[in-house]
A and B are shown apart, each in its own frame.
Chain A
């Protein structure tokens, strides 16, 4: 079984460390979690020369809020993570429509490859936004 190495990334907030004034750093589980969130919220075509990276969730959020599209959102997240995040092995995804907040409650459960059975969970709320 492969053994996971450590991961170190820059925080997507680009906030500075209060003491060192350096960029905030994310490590290991947090870095992977951030990477998954980045992938899900990236629209295909957004990345230079890589039109396939990302998920079509942005488009799906403008579709009617119902269980059919909730399933489509779930499939899209599943495809995106399996295709572009080799560090994790998906266990389960729950996508539930939230009619009160007009969005989807998402829960992603996964295991980091190379680590013992220790599942991580990401909880997201996805809603459409207008620029």
Chain B
């Protein structure tokens, strides 16, 4: 009789299967008694089988996203799938504004640099909004500049700088409230370079 209970994950079922195997294949008889040496060996063998089966079961479970339970494993599988976890989402608005320039020598274009802030007051509470990218507009003949549908996001503009050598480099942003769609990555050739 072959030992074929390969899928058992219950210690006592494994032990019964081993006993049945011995019953059919062995001259020994004392495996039925708890005090016997064979009984103790069976205990160890059943425990070892149980432990190995359990471990194999857990390993296979952790390999698939549907059955993985450890966070690290879920993250590893999600990475392979290209999944980006959901983050906080900054309130946003599309605003239009118009500037009137004064002076004798006026530029032909005006820039709003990324990180420039707008303030709004709701119920006597101030909220700061920023723009994420540089915006350019031409100065009109009447000395006005118009920015239409300017996308602004609530929050503070934060810049983290890292010096990277060769090889793979992982960046950890230690801010739990980052809105990931607002992240911009710029790579410079050297610390003093201004062009990315």
Contact = CB atoms under 8 A, between A and B. Distances in A.
Interface of A: 5-12, 25-26, 31, 34-36, 38-39, 42, 47-50, 53, 84-87
7 contacts: A7-B29, A26-B37, A34-B35, A38-B36, A38-B40, A48-B44, A50-B43
B37 A85 contact: no
Nearest to B28: A8
Interface string B26-57: 01111001111111110110110000000000
B43 A48 contact: yes
Contacts, number: 64
B37 A34 contact: yes
A10 B35 contact: no
A43 B41 CA distance: 16
Interface of B is mostly: helix
A10 B41 contact: yes
Interface of B: 11-12, 27-30, 33-41, 43-44, 46-47
Nearest to B30: A9
Contact of A86 (B33, B39, B40, B46): B33
B30 A31 contact: yes
Given A31-B30, A48-B43, A48-B44, A10 B11 contact: no
B30 A8 contact: yes
A50 B34 contact: yes
B127 to A, nearest CB: 61
Contacts of A48: 11, 43-44, 46-47
B41 A35 contact: no
A106 to B, nearest CB: 16
Contact of B33 (A12, A42, A85): A85
Nearest to A13: B37
Nearest to B40: A38
A37 B11 CA distance: 25
B179 to A, nearest CB: 52
A5 B43 CA distance: 23
Contact of A49 (B12, B36, B39, B40): B12
Given A53-B34, A84-B34, A85-B33, A10 B47 contact: no
Given A49-B12, A50-B43, A10 B34 contact: no
A31 B34 contact: no
Nearest to A34: B37
A39 B35 contact: yes
B38 A10 contact: yes
B40 A47 contact: yes
Given A9-B38, A10-B28, A35 B33 contact: yes
Nearest to B26: A8
Contacts of B34: 39, 47, 50, 53, 84-85
Contacts of A26: 37
A2 B47 CA distance: 34
A127 B4 CA distance: 44
A23 B91 CA distance: 78
